[in-house]
Amino acid sequence: MFRDVLAETSPGSPAESGPSESDTPSPGAEVRCLMAMERGQRVRLVTESLPSTHRPLLEAMGLCNDCDLHICLSSGTCIIDIDGSRLGISRQVARSIMAIPVGP
């Protein structure tokens, strides 16, 4: 099922846009794993932190190119909102994905 999605996924997508000034991390913002973020927090994904073994599948689900995420729940399974779609990520994978807080 996901093989078809991965084969059709292109590196660039029209939905990707550069960060606006209000979305830039504040000076001194620290990089933390998704499990360390608080519920309701807005974060920017650090693409280089995606585990290489999971990267194609995570990118097919929307986790790519420094995207912005909203943390919905970060205990047990990490649930994130990506452009209105919610995605559940296991605790182990969420601990390996790094992000920078960009807003409340």
Q: Which domains does the chain carry?
A: 33-104 (2.30.30.90)
User: So what's the pLDDT on residue 54?
Assistant: 84
pTM: 0.66
User: So what's the pLDDT on residue 28?
Assistant: 54
- The answer for residues whose C-beta is within 8 angstroms of residue 26's C-beta and 6 or more apart is 101, 102
Residue 57 per-residue DSSP state: H
The secondary element (H helix, E strand) that includes residue 42 is: strand 42-45
Residue pLDDT tens, the chain, 104 long: 444 444 444 344 333 344 444 445 555 568 999 999 999 999 998 888 888 888 888 888 888 777 889 999 877 889 999 988 999 999 998 998 999 999 77
- Residue 41 Cα to chain centre, angstroms: 12
User: So what's the pLDDT on residue 104?
Assistant: 72
